[in-house]
């Protein structure tokens, strides 16, 4: 088949395919909805309150005490207002001259006014306490999520559902913002409700159950709506995850050239819209369900409320309660109704928030399970030998192992080059040598210590890696070199590393030298070229001066001068460490003491450049292909 420059005239091109459907089954975690019956809701609230209180206490003790005291004051003030309004009403509606009735109601009215004033002030103070605590709580939740993800074993990223659950947990972090407010409103409503029901029960015992009946449907409606909302969110998690990932890829400035020059904009926007439409469709199907729930529960609540008023009227007409008491009851019923409604509505809101927080909690638990638990064995500062013993590694979901039984010994002072075709397992081998991945079978021993039993932090303190896909950190030039190991306040070693990769002139020309922010998209930032970035990634690894240096295609974007410079430096410092260079530039393997050639996860050849180039094997074939231009 030949590739033509333009489609044949009159031939219709197919429309762009829609985004793939990915469903988040939640099979790796419990869907909190499964246990969200009304009973479960009630059981859960105390633990959410306790959890919120513990975390609030941990981040801001003064704020927490202030919040608690103000809650109690607000509640007590509301109770006093209600009780003394009832008392004032009794006096005001009694028989006798107006001035006398007013006079006798005056003390109660004074209490009402003072309590209302206190209530306002303490409500303002509790909002202030909430404003103090909430940002800290949100940051704490966010930090625990970020650090949990940074700490998991690298293999966890490849697990099905890990990224989706992370997305669900991110929503939990956002919802942390409303958690304190929900808890605060719920507590306030609880105190007001207790006060109101006390007054109501004192008027007539029948009033309380009737009022409860009047507000319960609203609570039920709020819970059912919360369930529907969460169910929609749950169904959308996978799509939202993909959408936010693609959003980043499509709008990230570094990908801008590729997007434009390859005419991708139209398709990317089509794709984004198609995915957004799918998410919206799911969300919109929830709207009529919500409406039905609200209408049904409001109607039920209305019927019960009518019943309450009817009973009150009947009590007054039949003389079972005196008229002034009945008038007081009107006020009390209104207040109690508001308090009860708020109690159930805020209870449901807490339940709603708790569903999202449960996702965050379960993701943090999952991340915790996947944090390295390898043992505490340490490795010496000076590592003399790394030995791989029949090492096998298979990625999740793959049938064939990426590394399929490799035995290899690396000695201090040696430079080892690893070559082989794409997908032959070179990068995976590098990850196994550094303990980023652990062997499924076989062992990787650093001076006799099995990496499976070693403290990974100790191993990684002795490792420097330039990965194939290195990061261009949006940090200052200095931090781009020292990140991971700020050794001294002196810039001397930083310049040494910059010199080693031939970047001195470039860095000196930056607007603020080492202090220049390397992110064009940020205010005042500067941008480097691809090769300059790669040189900086090499400087970062060289700066670490570790016993193991791994360079995975370190010069793929560099000009010959840069490449020459890097390999000179690698050679110069090689005596003090073990160096592994993964490369497709076979000429570069001349500097290696030994070359291993990989094919389908196995080492198929080993030797020096001269030996392998004339051995007639895969290496010789690759050399011949490289020269056949
Ligand atoms: N994170 C991963 N999850 C699943 N499979 C992976 C992952 N990384 C690599 N693989 C698979 O493992 C095999 C070896 O990949 P590896 O990256 O080690 O090859 P490589 O020799 O470094 O290739 P290249 O020369 O293209 O960089 C490939 O088949 C690849 O598809």
From residue 587, give the alpha-carbon distance in Å to each of 89, 500, 564, 568, 620. 98, 21, 11, 14, 12
Q: Give the atom of ligand 1 at the shortest distance from the alpha carbon of 420.
A: 21
In a domain, 92, yes or no: yes
Helix 323-369 / helix 61-92 crossing angle, nearest 10 deg: 160
Quick one: tokens of 58? 């941990």
pTM above 0.80, yes or no: no
403 lines ligand 1 (CB under 6 A): no
**28: pLDDT strictly greater than 80:** no
What CATH number is given to the structural domain containing 606?
3.40.50.300
The answer to whether 234 touches 29, Cβ cutoff 8 Å, is no
Identify the band that residue 4 occupies on the pLDDT scale cut at 50, 70 and 90: low
Give kind and range of the element (H or E) at residue 466.
Answer: strand 463-466
Contact indicator for 189, 342 with CB cutoff of 8 Å: yes
Residue 235: inside a domain, yes or no? yes
List strands edge to edge, sheet with 578-582: 463-466, 548-552, 578-582, 415-420, 594-599, 602-607
What is the atom index within ligand 1 of the atom nearest the CA of 584?
25
Q: What is the dihedral of CA 193, 198, 201, 202, to 10 degrees?
A: -150
pLDDT attached to residue 9: 55
Query: Do 300 and 408 lie in a common domain?
Result: no
Query: Which residue segment(s) compose the domain that 60 sits in?
Result: 44-369
> Is the pLDDT at 374 greater than 80, yes or no?
yes
- Choose one of 153, 162, 395, 422 to mutate for the ligand 1 pocket test, by most ligand atoms within 8 angstroms of C-beta: 395
Model confidence at 98, pLDDT cuts 50, 70, 90, reads confident
pLDDT in tens, 326-366: 777 777 777 777 877 788 788 888 888 888 888 888 889 99
**In the beta sheet, which residues pair with residue 408?**
388
Which secondary-structure segment (H or E) carries 603? strand 602-607
pLDDT of residue 10: 59
> What was the pLDDT predicted at 168?
84
Give a yes or no: residue 16 inside a domain. Answer: no
Q: Which residues of 43-64 are buried (b: 16+ CB within 10 A; e: fewer)?
A: ebbeebbeebbebbeebbeebb
User: Which H or E run contains 56?
Assistant: helix 38-59
Pairing of the two strands 385-393 and 602-607: unpaired
| Domain-terminating residue out of 340, 369, 398 | 369
Furthest C-alpha separation in the chain: 122
CA distance 8 to 307: 77
| Paired residues of 392 in beta bridges | 404, 441
Q: Is the pLDDT at 559 greater than 70, yes or no?
A: yes
Distance CA 572, CA 563 (A): 14
Contacts of 68 (CB under 8 A, 6+ apart): none
Whether 454 and 341 share a structural domain: no
Q: Kindly report the average pLDDT of the chain as a whole number.
A: 86
Domain boundary among 369, 398, 424: 369
Both 404 and 290 in a single domain? Answer: no
> What is the C-alpha separation between 175 and 229, in angstroms, rounded?
14
Q: What is the pLDDT of residues 388-446, one digit of tens each?
A: 999 999 998 889 999 999 999 999 999 999 999 999 999 999 999 999 999 999 999 99
**Residue 398 beta carbon below 6 angstroms from any ligand 1 atom:** yes
Which residue has its alpha carbon closest to ligand 1 atom 3?
Answer: 395
HEC assignment per residue over 346-368:
HHHHHHHHHHHHHHHHHHHHHHH
State how far the alpha carbon of 73 is from the alpha carbons of 121, 192, 519, 561, in Å.
9, 11, 51, 74
Query: Is residue 459 included in any domain, yes or no?
Result: yes
Which position has the token pair 């992370």?
A: 166
Whether 525 maps to a domain, the answer reads: yes
Q: Decide: 13 in ligand 1 pocket, CB within 6 A.
A: no
Question: Of the candidates 557, 510, 502, 564, which has an alpha carbon nearest to the alpha carbon of residue 534?
Answer: 557
Which of the listed ranges 56-70, 208-222, 257-271 does the model predict with the highest average pLDDT?
A: 56-70
Per residue in 581-600, pLDDT tens?
A: 999 999 889 989 999 999 99
Distances (CA, A) of 402 to 158, 396, 549: 14, 11, 22
Model pLDDT, residue 239: 87
Cα-to-centroid distance, 378 and ligand 1 (Å): 29
Give the model confidence (pLDDT) of 229-240 as tens digits. Answer: 888 888 888 888
400: Cβ below 6 Å to ligand 1? no
Q: What is the CA radius of gyration of the chain?
A: 35
> What is the whole-number distance in angstroms between the Cα of residue 426 and the centre of ligand 1?
8
In a domain, 18, yes or no: no
78-92, 360-374, 528-542 — which one is most confidently predicted on average?
528-542
As given in the structure block, the two tokens for residue 161 are 């559902």
Residues 307 and 415 in one domain: no
**Same domain? 205 vs 252:** yes
**Looking at the domain assignment, is residue 307 inside a domain?**
yes
Q: How far is CA 515 from CA 101, 131, 490, 510, 543, in A?
A: 79, 36, 13, 9, 17
Q: What is the pLDDT of residue 7?
A: 53
Residue 92 Cα, ligand 1 centroid: separation in angstroms?
85
Distance CA 265, CA 267 (A): 6
Mean pLDDT of 76-84: 82
Looking at the fold, whether 343 and 434 belong to one and the same domain comes out as no
DSSP-derived letter for residue 25 is -
Token pair for 171 = 């929503």
Kindly state whether residues 459 and 405 are assigned to the same domain.
Answer: yes
Nearest to 476 by CA among 499, 494, 501, 500: 494
For residue 608, the SS3 value is coil
Q: Are strands 385-393 and 441-446 parallel, antiparallel or unpaired?
A: antiparallel
2: in domain: no
Pocket test for ligand 1, best of 428, 466, 603 (most atoms within 8 A of CB): 428
Return d(Cα 491, Cα 497) in angstroms, integer.
Answer: 10
- Return the C-alpha torsion angle 227, 228, 232, 234, nearest 10: 20
Among 236-250, 449-463, 519-533, which range has the highest average pLDDT?
449-463
Per-residue confidence (pLDDT) for residue 33, from 0 to 100 = 57
The residue count for the chain: 629
| pLDDT reading at 254 higher than 60 | yes
Is the pLDDT score of 502 beyond 80?
Answer: yes
- In this structure, the answer to whether residues 362 and 493 fall within a common structural domain is no
**Residues 310 and 414 reside in one and the same domain:** no
Question: In CATH, what number is assigned to the domain containing residue 138?
Answer: 1.20.1560.10
How many Cβ atoms from other residues are within 10 Å of residue 284's Cβ?
Answer: 11
Q: What is residue 323's predicted lDDT score, i.e. its pLDDT?
A: 72
Whether residue 308 is predicted with pLDDT greater than 80 in this model: the reply is yes
Structurally, the chain folds into a number of domains equal to: 2
For position 523, what pLDDT does the model report? 72
Q: Does residue 590 share a domain with residue 463? A: yes
Ligand 1 centroid, distance to 583 Cα (angstroms): 14
Residues 345, 391 within the same domain: no
> Is the four-CA dihedral 302, 306, 307, 312 of positive or negative sign?
positive
Taking the CA of residue 397 as reference, the ligand 1 atom at the shortest distance is 4
Question: 395 CB under 6 A from ligand 1?
Answer: yes
| Count of CB atoms situated within 10 Å of the CB of 401 | 20
What is the reported pLDDT for 1? 44
Q: Assign 142 a pLDDT band (cuts: 50, 70, 90).
A: very high
Q: What are the DSSP calls for 107-167, one per residue?
A: HHHHHHHHHHHHHHHHHHHHHHHHHHHHHHHHHHHHHHHHHHHHHS-GGGGGSTTHHHHHH
End residue of a domain, out of 318, 336, 369: 369
ipTM passes above 0.95: yes
Kindly state the percentage of the chain with pLDDT values over 90: 44
Regarding whether 428 and 475 lie in a shared domain, the answer is yes
How does pLDDT run across 181-238, given as a tens digit for each residue?
A: 888 888 878 877 777 777 777 767 777 787 778 778 887 888 788 888 888 888 888 8
Joined tokens for residue 426:
């070179």
Strand arrangement, sheet containing 403-411: 403-411, 385-393, 441-446, 449-450
Region for 53 from its dihedrals, namely left if φ exceeds 0, alpha if ψ lies in -120 to 50, beta otherwise: alpha
Q: In which band, very low, low, confident or very high, does the pLDDT at 465 lie, cut at 50, 70 and 90? A: very high
Of all protein residues, whose CA lies closest to atom 1 belonging to ligand 1?
158
Which of 158, 398, 440 is the pocket-test mutation for ligand 1 (most atoms within 8 Å of CB)? Answer: 398
Contacts with 407 (C-beta within 8 Å, 6 or more apart), sequence order = 388, 389, 390, 391, 442, 603
């Amino acid at each position: 088949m030949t590739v033509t420059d333009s489609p044949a005239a009159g031939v219709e091109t197919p429309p762009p395919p829609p985004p793939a459907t990915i469903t988040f089954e939640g099979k790796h975690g419990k869907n909190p909805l499964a246990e969200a019956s009304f009973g479960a809701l009630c059981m859960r609230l105390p633990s959410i309150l306790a959890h919120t209180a513990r975390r609030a206490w941990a981040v801001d003790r003064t704020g927490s005490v202030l919040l608690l005291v103000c809650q109690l004051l607000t509640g007590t003030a509301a109770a006093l207002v209600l009780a003394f309004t009832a008392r004032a009403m009794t006096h005001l509606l009694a028989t006798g001259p107006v001035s006398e009735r007013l006079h006798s109601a005056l003390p109660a009215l004074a209490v009402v006014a003072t309590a209302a004033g206190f209530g306002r002030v303490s409500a303002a103070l509790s909002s202030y306490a909430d404003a103090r605590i909430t940002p800290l709580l949100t940051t704490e939740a966010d930090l625990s999520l970020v650090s949990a993800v940074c700490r998991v074993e690298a293999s966890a990223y490849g697990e099905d559902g890990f990224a989706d659950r992370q997305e669900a947990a991110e929503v939990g972090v956002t919802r942390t913002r409303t958690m304190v407010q929900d808890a605060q409103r719920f507590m306030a409503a609880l105190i007001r409700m207790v006060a109101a029901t006390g007054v109501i029960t004192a008027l007539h015992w029948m009033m309380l159950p009737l009022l409860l009946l009047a507000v319960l449907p609203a609570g039920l409606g709020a819970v059912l709506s919360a369930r529907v909302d969460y169910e929609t969110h749950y169904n959308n998690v996978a799509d939202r995850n993909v959408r936010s990932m693609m959003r980043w890829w499509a709008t990230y400035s570094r990908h801008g050239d590729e997007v434009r020059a390859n005419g991708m904009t139209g398709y990317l926007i089509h794709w984004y819209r198609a995915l957004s439409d799918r998410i919206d469709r799911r969300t919109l199907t929830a709207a009529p369900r919500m409406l039905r729930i609200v209408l049904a529960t409001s109607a039920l609540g209305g019927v019960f409320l009518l019943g309450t008023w009817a009973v009150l009227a009947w009590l007054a007409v039949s003389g079972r309660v005196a008229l002034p008491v009945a008038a007081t009851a009107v006020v009390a019923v209104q207040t109690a109704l508001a308090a009860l409604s708020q109690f159930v509505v805020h209870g449901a809101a807490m339940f709603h928030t708790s569903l999202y927080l449960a996702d965050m909690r379960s993701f943090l638990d999952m991340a915790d399970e996947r944090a390295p638990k390898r043992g505490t064995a340490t490795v010496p500062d000076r590592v003399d030998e790394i030995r791989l013993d029949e090492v096998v590694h298979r990625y999740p979901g793959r049938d064939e192992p990426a590394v399929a039984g490799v035995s290899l010994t690396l000695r201090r002072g040696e430079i080892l080059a690893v070559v082989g075709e794409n997908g032959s397992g070179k990068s995976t081998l590098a990850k196994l040598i550094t303990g980023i991945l652990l062997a499924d079978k076989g062992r990787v021993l650093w001076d006799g210590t099995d990496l499976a039993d070693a403290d990974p932090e100790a191993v990684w303190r002795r490792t420097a890696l330039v990965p194939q896909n290195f990061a261009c950190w949006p940090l200052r030039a200095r931090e781009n070199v020292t990140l991971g190991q700020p050794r001294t306040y002196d810039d001397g070693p930083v310049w040494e590393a910059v010199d080693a990769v031939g970047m001195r002139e470039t860095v000196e020309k930056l607007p603020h030298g080492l202090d220049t922010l390397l992110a064009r998209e940020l205010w005042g930032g500067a941008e480097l070229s691809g090769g300059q970035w790669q040189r900086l990634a090499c400087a970062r690894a060289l700066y670490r001066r570790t016993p193991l240096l791994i360079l995975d295609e370190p010069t793929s974007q560099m000009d010959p001068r840069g490449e020459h410079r890097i390999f000179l430096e690698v050679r110069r410092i090689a005596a003090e460490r073990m160096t592994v260079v993964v490369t497709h530039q076979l000429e570069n393997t001349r500097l290696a003491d030994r070359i291993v050639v990989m094919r389908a996860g196995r080492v198929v050849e080993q030797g020096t450049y001269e030996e392998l180039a004339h051995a007639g094997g895969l290496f010789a074939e690759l050399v011949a292909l490289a020269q056949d231009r």
